Amino acid sequence: MIKHYIQKKLENYVRKYFIKHPEVKLVAVTGSVGKTSTKVAIATVLSERYRVRLHEGNFNTFMSVPTAILGIEYPSNIKSIGAWLAVFRAAKERINSPTDVDVIVQELGSDRIGQVLHFGTYLHPEIAVITAISPEHMEFFHTIDNVAREELSVANFSKQAIINKDDIAGEYAKYLTNSNISTYGTSASAEYHYLSENYSFDIGHNGIFIAPELTEPVLATVHVLGEHTLRPAIAAAAVAVKLGMEPSEIASGMAKIHALPGRMNILSGANETILIDDTYNSSPLAAESSLRELYKLSVPQRIAVLGDMNELGDTSDAEHKKLGEMCDPNQLAWVITVGNQAEKFIASAAKARGCQVKSFRDALQAGGFVRSVAEKGAAILFKGSQGGVYLEEAVKVMLHSTSNESQLVRQSPEWLAKKTAFFSRDI
């Protein structure tokens, strides 16, 4: 009851804030995968002209979205009435003070039907960006149609929406009631798209960004690995065009976009290996895209370390098997799995294809094995979900220098204590 009261109070403060400051634009980001990367990319590009507010963490729930929008620190002790009273005072001050931002970029999360739609009861974004429709939290959504209906609902309570054409099937347009819809992607059929004309591992992509409002393409460099990691940058550029930024500002902002920790982030490994740290989380779409990018690298050896993909419900067995079937013995020296689902379905399917496979109970064991078989100059992909997998600890075993540990995800004292307990179980 108290939690519900606090939530409603926070939402009302957000309503009052936008009424008092109608000049502040809200950009909302949602989707099955890539929300945080897209949110940060948008903020990076928009910062070339505008004062931008975003919370770099995953503050995307009913309770944390209002504080993130208002730029107020979320209480560390959510049971403290005094802490929430302090939040309320800060919210009132934010409403009544001159605005310190031009644009707020906010991620909206959902793991239940109706959660995104609820945000529409008090938010009316200038622009909504939908990054992907793919299996997620399937124990609650059950069908991909339910996922699509949920994620696309943000478009219907926003003034306009930009939708990733590459990762959202056209059949889901039936869930859109807003006619002010644009598309973005790496495909030239998207209204806002980027054509990569030259790619190098060290620099990233050199190419052109094309938008219907611009008379000439924008020459832009994007320092990311892979085609799917270009899409957040394209979304950012599309938002920038819609908010009236100049081509030179857009190009400058796109050049400042880099991979986030645990999201296709390239790290230096022992024995001159290349570590592709994609350990933040895993889902079928993201894992398949990451594996395809590994195959594109010209290196003497490729190794895929694949962990369980959580929260897939009844689709879990089939999705893990499908990923295993993508493992190509002509491309991979080793397929290494971590977790029960990965061993049962990814490993089995990869073996059936002729891959050399090794399965481990946890990331620490897997990391030690990778270190023993990795050849000089190898490229190693680490991809797995958060809970019960923690493949960032396998990356840590392979790092060239411990100074790079700060670039890994979940390295706070609280997370390290939690993982120590996890890896110590049954010892």
For 120-146, the pLDDT digits (tens) are 999 999 999 999 998 888 888 889 999
218-234 residue pLDDT tens = 999 999 988 889 999 99
pLDDT at 57: 77
Q: What is the 3-state secondary structure (H, E, C) of the chain?
A: CHHHHHHHHHHHHHHHHHHHCCCCEEEEEECCCCHHHHHHHHHHHHCCCCCEECCCCCCCCCCHHHHHHHCCCCCCCCCCHHHHHHHHHHHHHHHHCCCCCCEEEEECCCCCCCHHHHHCCCCCCCEEEECCCCCCCHHHHCCHHHHHHHHHHHHHCCCEEEEECCCCCHHHHHHCCCCCEEEEECCCCCCEEEEEEEEECCCEEEEEEECCCCCCCEEEEEECCCCCCCHHHHHHHHHHHHCCCCHHHHHHHHCCCECCCCCCEEEEEHHHCEEEEECCCCCHHHHHHHHHHHHHCCCCCEEEEEECCCCCHHHHHHHHHHHHHCCCCCCCCEEEEECHHHHHHHHHHHHHCCCCEEEECCHHHHHHHHHHHCCCCCEEEEECCCCCCCCHHHHHHHECCHHHHHHCCCCCHHHHHHHHHHHCCCC
pLDDT at 189: 95
CA atoms within 13 A on the CB side of 265: 22
**pLDDT level of residue 403 (50, 70, 90 thresholds):** confident
Average pLDDT, rounded, for the chain: 94
Tokens of 155: 């478009």
304-338 residue pLDDT tens = 999 999 989 889 999 999 999 999 999 999 999 99
Kindly tell me if the per-residue pLDDT of 275 is higher than 80: yes
pLDDT at 207: 96
Can you tell me whether residue 388 is helix, strand or coil?
coil
**pLDDT level of residue 427 (50, 70, 90 thresholds):** low
**pLDDT level of residue 49 (50, 70, 90 thresholds):** very high
Query: Which H/E stretch holds residue 366?
Result: helix 363-373
The DSSP bridge pattern shows strands 218-222 and 265-268 to be unpaired
62-85 residue pLDDT tens = 889 999 999 999 998 888 888 999
Phi/psi of residue 408, nearest 5 degrees? -85, 155
Kindly tell me if the per-residue pLDDT of 363 is higher than 90: yes
Q: What is the mean pLDDT of residues 261-290?
A: 94
Q: Domains in the chain, start-ordered, CATH in brackets?
A: 2-254 (3.40.1190.10), 265-423 (3.90.190.20)
pLDDT at 360: 96
Q: What is the mean pLDDT of residues 213-217?
A: 96
Q: Among residues of the chain, what percentage have pLDDT more than 90?
A: 84
Tokens of 269: 């490994």
Question: Closest Cα to residue 152, out of 127, 124, 125, 133?
Answer: 133
How many CB atoms lie under 10 A from the CB of residue 74?
16
**pLDDT level of residue 426 (50, 70, 90 thresholds):** low
148-193 residue pLDDT tens = 999 999 999 999 999 999 999 999 999 999 999 999 999 999 999 9
Tokens of 373: 């078989």
Chain length of the chain: 427
